[in-house]
């Protein structure tokens, strides 16, 4: 732990980095996957389980928490760490992505975003200053700037307008954040799928000398090769000495390919959402427990896993729970998925340290492919 926010790289393999972020509430080992705790909960999981699975940090969401139960209320109750019983680092999203997804309910101006609550239709205004204020009330350790995130594909003009607005908002967020010892504010690189815009955004944000930098506006409808191309363009324009966060990504394959390109941090709802819909992520690829072929299968998902959800329950039982729409099935599969994602991150960190990242990725993908072939 550290009384100030620091980032250090302990090993590299090509463009990939292994390191750690240190701050008063703990250490985040990188590359890191942050389970999404949108409303102060990682869905279908106890946070003790999330920690035991290997997570160093979770993500909370400004948009959802400001609407319910309210940032001021959480502050009165001791902040999000105390409220949710998670004493470790928390990163909060600014709310920009959620506002984008509610396009029919919002209006964007230079000042900020005016939108209607999806819960009760009430009107709210989210400015850069208010976003940082809310994140401060939540007492999050890493706070994100408010940005405008556009859906892809979009025109160059739309991407450019949103990118420049996001840069102006980043400056306002930096002023609003001020000096908070032990905490950090990250900027968000925007620019759609346009190389010159991504480079301009990255360079302008670097000039603000922030504690870390995120790549936003990806995993919003574009194919994987476009996402990876944008990472290849952006990463060389970001400082080696600061963490890089790819927002909202993704599948295990997205993660390993992005780590290869120098990304340090990830978040995505995929492992929890998949668990609630009967899908398990494993060393053998994805397993759909709704499939009737599992009805008589006594094998666990992965007998070698240290996660009890993966190694102690038969596929037949999990299939039964899923087909019966039992809550326990959602809980066990989500637990398995979070554990697998953390297992994957630990493997990536060790592979980078050992200088064998390419071999590790090849072996991991071969395991996924072998599992897929066994289904046919």
pLDDT tens digits, residue range 248-261? 999 999 999 999 99
Residue 355 annotated as lining a ligand binding site: no
Using alpha carbons, select from 11, 33, 20, 30 the residue that is nearest to residue 252: 33
Cα–Cα distance, 283 to 369 (Å, whole number): 10
190 is known to lie in a ligand binding site: yes
Tell whether residue 182 is among the known ligand binding residues: no
Q: Are residues 131 and 185 in the same domain?
A: yes
Q: Give the CATH number, domain containing residue 218.
A: 3.20.20.105
**Is-contact 95 114, C-beta < 8 A?**
no
- C-alpha torsion 270→275→279→281, nearest 10: 70
108 pLDDT above the threshold of 70:
yes
Is there a single domain that holds both residue 262 and residue 292?
Answer: no
* Together in a domain, 235 and 308: no
Q: Are residues 198 and 299 in the same domain?
A: no
The overall average pLDDT reported for the chain is 95
> Does 95 count as an annotated binding residue?
yes
Give me the helix-helix angle, 224-234 and 195-207, nearest 10°: 40
Total domains present in the chain: 2
Examine the domain organization and report whether 188 and 304 are in the same domain. Answer: no
Question: What H or E segment, with its residue span, contains residue 88?
Answer: none
pLDDT of residue 374 exceeding 80: no
| Domain-located, residue 1 | no
**What's the confidence (pLDDT) of residue 345?**
98
| 332 lies in some domain | yes
Burial class (CB in 10 A: 0-12, 13-18, 19+), 44: buried
- Give the 3-state secondary structure percentages of the chain, helix then strand then coil, rounded to 5: 45, 20, 35
- Cα distance between residue 298 and residue 71, in whole Å: 47
pLDDT digits (tens, 9 = 90+) for 115-166: 888 889 889 899 999 999 999 999 999 999 999 988 889 999 999 999 999 9
192 is in an annotated binding site: no
User: Do 225 and 363 share a structural domain?
Assistant: no
What is the set of active-site residues? Answer: 93, 267
pLDDT recorded at residue 15: 98
Assess whether 56 and 108 both reside in one domain: yes
Note the pLDDT tens digit of each residue in 290-343. Answer: 999 999 999 999 999 999 999 999 999 999 999 999 999 999 999 999 999 999
Same domain? For 10 and 120 the reply is: yes
Quote the domain boundaries for residue 367: 275-375
Last residue of a domain, one of 247, 267, 287: 267
Asked if residue 70 lies in contact with residue 121, where contact means CB atoms within 8 angstroms, the answer is no
**Cβ neighbours of 225 (radius 10 Å):** 9
| CA 197 vs CA 238, 311, 339: distances in Å | 14, 47, 37
Q: Do 77 and 206 belong together in one domain?
A: yes
| One domain, residues 217 and 342 | no
Instruction: Confirm whether residue 96 is marked as ligand binding.
Output: yes
Rounded mean pLDDT, 82-91: 98
**Residue 191: which of 164, 211, 172, 214 has the closest Cα?**
164
Residues 192 and 43 in one domain: yes
| Residue after which a domain boundary falls, among 267, 287, 303 | 267
Determine the pLDDT at residue 372. Answer: 81
Last residue of one domain, picked from the residues 239, 267, 295: 267
């Amino acid at each position: 732990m550290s009384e100030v926010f620091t980032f250090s790289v302990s090993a590299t393999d090509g463009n990939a980095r292994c390191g750690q972020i240190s701050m008063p509430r703990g250490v985040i080992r990188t590359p890191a996957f942050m389970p999404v705790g949108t409303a102060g909960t990682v869905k279908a999981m106890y946070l003790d389980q999330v920690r035991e699975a290997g997570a160093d940090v979770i993500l909370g969401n400004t948009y959802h928490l400001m609407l319910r139960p309210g940032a001021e209320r959480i502050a009165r109750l001791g902040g999000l760490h105390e409220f949710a019983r998670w004493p470790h680092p928390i990163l909060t999203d600014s709310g920009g992505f959620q506002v984008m997804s509610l396009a029919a309910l919002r209006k964007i101006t230079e000042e900020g975003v005016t939108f209607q609550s999806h819960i009760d239709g009430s009107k709210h205004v989210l400015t850069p200053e208010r976003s940082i204020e809310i994140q401060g009330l939540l007492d999050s350790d890493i706070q994100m700037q408010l940005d405008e995130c556009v859906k892809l594909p979009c025109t160059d003009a739309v991407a450019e307008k949103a990118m420049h607005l996001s840069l102006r908002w980043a400056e306002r967020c930096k002023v609003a954040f001020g000096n908070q010892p032990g905490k950090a504010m990250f900027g968000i690189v925007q620019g759609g799928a346009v190389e010159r815009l991504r480079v301009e955004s990255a360079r302008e944000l670097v000039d603000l000398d922030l504690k870390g930098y995120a790549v936003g506006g990806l995993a919003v409808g574009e194919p994987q090769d476009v996402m990876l191309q944008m990472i290849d363009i952006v990463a060389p324009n970001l400082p080696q000495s600061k963490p890089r966060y790819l927002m909202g990504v993704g599948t295990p394959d997205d993660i390993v390919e992005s780590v290869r390109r120098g990304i340090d941090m990830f978040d995505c709802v995929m492992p929890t959402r998949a668990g609630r819909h009967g899908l398990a992520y494993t060393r053998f690829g994805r397993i759909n427990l709704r499939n009737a072929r599992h009805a008589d299968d006594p094998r666990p998902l992965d007998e070698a896993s240290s996660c009890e959800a993966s190694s102690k329950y038969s596929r037949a039982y999990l299939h039964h729970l899923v087909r019966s729409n039992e809550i326990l099935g959602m809980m066990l599969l989500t637990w398995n998925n979070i554990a697998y994602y953390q297992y994957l991150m630990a493997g990536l960190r060790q592979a980078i340290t050992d200088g064998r990242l390419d071999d590790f990725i090849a072996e991991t993908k071969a395991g996924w492919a072998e599992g897929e072939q066994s289904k046919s």
